[in-house]
Structure 1
């Protein structure tokens, strides 16, 4: 059930240009970047597979795509494009927020997130980007870059460029999730609940997940959310069963990008 919900959500978030969820009808160029050297390439790391944006198959504009199970060693040659302010501030396919000034990209079939080196075939210029979105859904294009990445490759004026892409780090096989076990207005009660969950954790012999409290202020009211995680996706169902056996039934499953919301 968890995976089915994630897949359904990810299909909604695929950023095909035919959708109407954006505040602008057409894409347009962001404000110029004053110092492009100040925007650093991301450092490739082995992240968990995103719980959203990785359906085994999906369809956009009448065409089916299959997401790779493992992209280790994958490379591809073709045309790169870039996407801008129409999509700025909107969710990417894995639920993160797209920022034209970050070094990210969209690909149709790479597992999310993947770290990719993009090298211009004609000039040799190269950047590293973190793939967290789906696209481009135009024939002949293999990757859609953020505006920042396009500027670094000096292709923001031409719009496209011939490139070779090479996967540096593919995500780990399993995604990780968090379980929100409760949201309380009193911090002392939240701390007591946290201790209760720690006791349950010891009883079930859990792995590396921890119990934390995420506190926020809204209209002068404090909310203290007690959360368990990160939990590998295969361990979610047994953990929820253990919580239910201890009378904790009002749980909410969260992806990584939802933790600060």
Structure 2
């Protein structure tokens, strides 16, 4: 796996991977971000000496202040802008997970902490740093609490980058990637699976509203659902971001118990798919095609 080296600037420090702490006495970025250096390894690998992580305790969700680094409202990597969520409450998504290990071990994460591949941590593009999440392997049912303290992965087909230890515990280290569900946890959440009650449901995993169809009929108009939330204020924030960042006007449809943020209508599926890609390229969660 290849990960992006972070530049030594405040914005680029939000990059896909970790950077090494500067030697003692070296100058830091004028914005306060820790310095960076080059990696000694060209390719990432598992540890040279395997370590048993079966008895390693899971992190316990607790209230923590946001880290000094890695929490800008937006940042750009490879010419693409990403948006950091105002809070993690209710976040849930499904997609592919990858992992990183030996190459980045001991180097700084986007939050400024040292990366430890033997701890249960992860990188995420938009969750605040730090955030505790439960990751469930959708192929084998294994689940694990990890602490998000880094940014990445910057591949459209991945939603989270796990530490090597977390990948081993979930059973995806050998394959390199795996299908997972990611659920944000609060300090009051129990560690048993299914104990969370999301207050916001992101577009990538929200169940389609009634009568959603994949192929339009003459009486149907096509829309994109950019998000769905259980509180209207979160839906309003997303609508405002779409307007400010892309000049798009979205509507909020109240379909209990959710407030759905919809873009459209579109006359044909090609137009809808083009807009879907444009929104995703701007760093928002990829909208879900829907039809009333």
Q: Does the TM-score normalized on the shorter chain lie above 0.5?
A: yes
Change (3 A) 1:13 1:71: closer
Structure 1 unmatched ranges of 5 or more: 1-6, 171-261
Q: Distance in 1 between matches of 2:45 and 2:17?
A: 16
How big is each residue's C-alpha offset from its partner over 1:105-164, in whole Å with a ceiling of 9 and x where there is no partner? 000000000000000111110000000000001121000000000000111100000000
Q: CA RMSD in A?
A: 2.2
Query: What is the TM-score of this pair, normalised by structure 1?
Result: 0.59
Is the 1:84–1:100 Cα contact (8 Å) retained in structure 2?
A: yes
Is the 1:107–1:134 Cα contact (8 Å) retained in structure 2?
A: yes
Q: Distance in 2 between matches of 1:71 and 1:38?
A: 28
SS in 2 for 1:39: coil
Query: 1:36 and 2:53 equivalent?
Result: yes
How big is each residue's C-alpha offset from its partner over 1:54-103, in whole Å with a ceiling of 9 and x where there is no partner? 01110111111000011101100000000111111110000000010000
Query: What is the TM-score of this pair, normalised by structure 2?
Result: 0.53
Query: 1:153 and 2:154 equivalent?
Result: no
**Which of the numbers 52, 77, 82 marks the counterpart of 2:99?**
82
Is the 1:10–1:94 Cα contact (8 Å) retained in structure 2?
A: no
Bigger RCO (CA 8 Å, 6+ sep) = 1
**Which of the numbers 37, 47, 62 marks the counterpart of 2:79?**
62
Q: Distance in 2 between matches of 1:163 and 1:130?
A: 16
**Which of the numbers 133, 136, 142 marks the counterpart of 1:125?**
142
Query: How do 1:131-150 residues align onto structure 2 when only pairs under 5 Å count?
Result: 131-150=148-167
Q: Distance in 1 between matches of 2:38 and 2:125?
A: 20
Q: Distance in 1 between matches of 2:92 and 2:172?
A: 20
Relative to its length, the structure with more strand (as a share) is 1
Q: Hey, what does 2:13 align to over in structure 1?
A: 12
Relative to its length, the structure with more helix (as a share) is 1
